[in-house]
């Protein structure tokens, strides 16, 4: 499973933001991490929904909650690794969704599916997932 932020153009606007700062942070937090750590990071960012997404919240989620190494994260966000990850995410997103789309979007095994839990679960199980949910 891979989680790819919606990056259309890393030098301009991201799909749902004025710039790609939070997508860059997400990619750097995900870099080399297992899916469980990636999910913990996203869960931290999304909880509670009423909180605004700020750099302070991102930093909290990187270190204390998700367990991502803060110095590696900072180096990625400020350096060429972050650029490379944004470029790769942009290529992946644009290949999967060449035309503008509504968010959220989900793909399982290269096929676009409804972004609901049930649809993703059904498609993942059909694609051979060994998850206990199947």
pLDDT tens across 111-128, in order?
A: 888 888 899 999 999 999
- Over the stretch 41-62, which tens digit does the pLDDT of each residue have? 888 888 776 666 778 888 888 9
Break the chain into its structural domains and give their ranges: 1-98, 104-134
Per the prediction, the chain carries an average pLDDT of 84
Least confident of 11-25, 83-97, 114-128: 11-25
d(CA 94, CA 99): 8
Distances (CA, A) of 31 to 2, 18, 44, 95: 11, 23, 17, 21
């Amino acid at each position: 499973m891979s989680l790819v932020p919606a990056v259309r153009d890393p030098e301009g606007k991201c799909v749902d933001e004025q710039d790609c700062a939070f997508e860059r942070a997400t990619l750097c937090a995900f870099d080399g991490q297992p899916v469980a750590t990636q999910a913990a990071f996203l869960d931290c960012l999304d909880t509670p929904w009423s909180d605004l997404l700020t750099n302070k919240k991102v930093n909290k989620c990187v270190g204390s909650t998700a367990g991502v190494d803060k110095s590696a994260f900072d180096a990625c966000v400020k350096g060429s690794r972050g650029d490379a990850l944004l470029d790769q995410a942009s290529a992946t997103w644009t290949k999967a969704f060449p035309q503008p789309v509504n968010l959220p979007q989900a793909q399982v095994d290269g096929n676009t599916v409804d972004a609901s839990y049930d649809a993703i679960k059904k498609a993942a199980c059909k694609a051979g997932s060994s998850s206990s949910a199947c």
